[in-house]
């Protein structure tokens, strides 16, 4: 199962056909279709990894300083709300007249950087305090909150007609710079892919409970 899921995750991130340059800042049909596919496929893969986890598997940690699959899943849920909220925040800001220059290449940058992890989490950035998995959410709580959140985000993305790329918010990590509302939306499933791969790492670690 793990190998099939990793293959599925890699297909998600295959380079998309370049869309024609836009001037109005709205999502192209190809961009919307890609975003919706990423949302759907990343959700399916995450749920396949965690839906049948036992309580012991949910809490098991490869090392004291490493996250359990339950903590990875909780972080995903908390992060999705933060990222989606930032997209909404961006849309409420005035149009940035320099949006095209500030965000040029950022979507491709996110696709290249966000899903990729160093095994064991070495070299990764520390999660901001508000999305650290410290609440001990149960599997059922995570599943409920994830499914509800994803349904809301997907509906929003499907119906978004605003010039999302014209509205910009700076990322708290300087390496990311300014991201537009579309970038913040596609960040959601890319971040989920990243931590789904972390869950696979945990499940493939020696000593992981068999049930």
Give the per-residue pLDDT at 123: 44
pLDDT over threshold 60, residue 56: yes
Contact assessment for residue 199 and residue 50, using Cβ atoms and an 8 Å cutoff: yes
- Digit-coded pLDDT (tens) for 34-46: 999 999 999 999 9
pLDDT tier for residue 131 given thresholds of 50, 70 and 90 = confident
Instruction: Report the top-level CATH class of 2-11+26-119+129-203.
Output: mainly alpha
Look over the chain and give the mean of its residue pLDDT values, rounded to a whole number. 88
Contact assessment for residue 211 and residue 58, using Cβ atoms and an 8 Å cutoff: no
Q: What are phi and psi of 82, to 5 degrees?
A: -65, -45
Q: For every residue of 92-155, which 3-state class applies, written as one string?
A: HCCCCCCHHHHCCCHHHHHHHHCCCCCHHHCCCCCCCHHHCCCCCCCHHHHHHHHHHHHHHHHH
- Digit-coded pLDDT (tens) for 156-197: 999 999 999 999 999 999 989 999 999 999 999 999 999 999
- pLDDT average, residue stretch 141-170: 97
- pLDDT average, residue stretch 143-158: 98
Count CB neighbours of 46 within 10 A. Answer: 25
| Residue spans per domain, the chain | 2-11+26-119+129-203
pLDDT tier for residue 130 given thresholds of 50, 70 and 90 = confident
Give the per-residue pLDDT at 18: 36
Partners of 170 in beta bridges: 178
- In the block, residue with structure tokens 């913040």: 184
């Amino acid at each position: 199962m793990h190998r099939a899921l990793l293959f599925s995750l890699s297909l998600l991130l295959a380079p998309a056909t370049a869309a024609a340059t836009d001037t109005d800042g709205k999502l192209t049909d190809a961009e919307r279709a890609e975003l919706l596919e990423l949302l759907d496929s990343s959700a399916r893969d995450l749920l396949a990894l965690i839906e049948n986890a036992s309580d012991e598997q949910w809490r098991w940690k490869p090392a004291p300083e490493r996250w359990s699959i339950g903590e990875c899943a909780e972080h995903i849920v908390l992060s999705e709300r933060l990222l989606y909220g930032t997209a909404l925040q961006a849309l409420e800001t005035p149009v940035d007249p320099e949006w095209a220059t500030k965000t040029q290449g950022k979507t491709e940058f996110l696709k290249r950087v966000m899903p990729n992890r160093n095994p064991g989490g070495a070299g990764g950035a520390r999660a901001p305090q508000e999305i650290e998995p410290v609440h001990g959410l149960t599997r059922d709580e995570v599943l409920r909150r994830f499914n509800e959140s994803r349904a809301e985000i997907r509906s929003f993305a499907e119906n978004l007609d605003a010039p999302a790329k014209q509205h910009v918010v700076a990322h708290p990590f300087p390496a990311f710079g300014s991201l537009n509302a579309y970038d913040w939306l596609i960040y959601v499933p890319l971040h989920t892919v990243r931590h789904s791969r972390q869950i696979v790492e945990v499940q493939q670690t020696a000593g992981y409970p068999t049930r």
